[in-house]
Amino acid sequence: MKGALACQDLIVGFGATEVLRGVTLSVPEQGITAVIGPSGCGKSTLLRCFNRMNDHLPGFFLRGKVWALGRDVYDPTWPVDSLRFAVGMVFQKPNPFPMSIAENVLFGPRLAGIRQREELRVILERSLRAAHLWDEVKDTLHASAFSLSGGQQQRLCIARALACQPRVLLLDEPSSALDPIATAALEETVSELASEVAVLWVTHDLQQAARVSQQVAFLYLGKLVEAGSTAEVFANPAQPLTEAYLTGKFG
């Protein structure tokens, strides 16, 4: 399979419930791919398959194939911690760690064993600049991450993910806890990043998907209904179900 992320005939469930029922999808190496669909359709579960974050959940099972960066995520020679380090993830709620802003960003690099001050300083500045946060925090790098606003915290989480220099970013409804201004700032930040990394962006906000994404995938009840370029899908949905969802008949 080609692309930064891909899955084939992916079936995932917990205990007796199947959440994903045969999903095949490929995510290109640049640009933003949005995953849309009504609540409970399996968007987040799909996203979390690519860095194996579902594995600890009770009753988890998976059939089918999942690739990240061209490699099978269940390749026994690829430890799960290395996979997760290579695939960045940002969560629904900002989740800064209880440490300083700088230490939040450097969490990943320190795990990777980087100890040199100069190298860490370069990574810190580059990651915070890429997340459009540098100018706001450059004088308070040693303040607690909890002193930031919600929007800043979420951009800090992006910077934290970027500090590991991932080639893929998984965003799980990252703006759902943010106000419109912070959301706009976040969208601008990620759009700029997308020229270099692949972004898979789960959102329940159709306008947001239309604004930011180049590709879109519509999931419904654990099945991929339609996928394609955002302009195409929003203008001329091939499936009547997609059209019904896009026009607000359900969801």
Partner 1 sequence: MSAPPVRVSEGLPSRAIAFAALVVALALMAGMLLVVVVGTAHGFWPRKLVAFTLADGSELLGEPWGEEPDPQAPGNRRVRLKVGNRDLLGQDFVFVRLAEVVAEAYPQDAVVLERWEYGNFYGFPVLLKYDGREVAPGDPQFEQALTAQLAKAYRITKRFATLRARITTAPSEEELAELNTLAAHLSSCNLTLRTASGVTKEITCGEVVRLWRPNRMGLGAQTLEFIRRLWQFLFSEPREANTEGGIFPALFGTAFLVMLMTVFVVPLGVLTAVYLREYAKDNAFTRGVRMAVSTLAGVPSIVFGAFGLAFFVYQVGGAVDRLFFAANLPTPTFGTGGVLWASLTMALLTLPVVVVASEEGLSAAPPEVRDGARALGATRWETLRRVVFPYAKPGILTGVILAVARAAGEVAPLMLTGVVKLAPSLPLDGTPPFLHLERKFMHLGFHIYDVGFQSPNIEAARPMIFATTLVLLLLVVVLNLLALIFRNKARKALEGGVL
Q: How far apart are the first and last CA of the chain?
A: 31
Question: Binding of partner 1 at residue 111 (CB under 8 A)?
Answer: yes
Say which DSSP state 147 is in.
G
Give the interface segment with partner 1, choosing from 49-57, 125-133, 212-220, 237-245 (CB under 8 A).
Answer: 49-57
241 strand-pairing partners: none
C-alpha span between 56 and 236 (Å, rounded): 40
Find the shortest distance in angstroms from Cβ 148 to partner 1. Answer: 9
Task: Extract the tokens encoding 59.
Answer: 């009753």
Find the shortest distance in angstroms from Cβ 81 to partner 1. Answer: 4
Per-residue interface string for the shown chain with partner 1, residues 67-106, x marking contact by CB under 8 A: --------------xxxxx--xx-xxx-xxxxxx------
SS3 12: strand
Q: How many CB atoms lie within 10 A of CB 132?
A: 19
- Tell me whether residue 124 or residue 233 sits nearer to partner 1 (CB atom): 124
Identify residues 135-194 at the interface with partner 1 (CB under 8 A). 142-144, 146-147, 157, 160-161, 164
Q: At what angle do helices 180-193 and 117-130 cross, to 10 degrees?
A: 120
Cα Rg, the chain, nearest whole Å:
18
Find the shortest distance in angstroms from Cβ 27 to partner 1. Answer: 18
Interface with partner 1 by CB under 8 A: which residues?
Answer: 51, 53, 56, 81-85, 88-89, 91-93, 95-100, 107-108, 111, 142-144, 146-147, 157, 160-161, 164
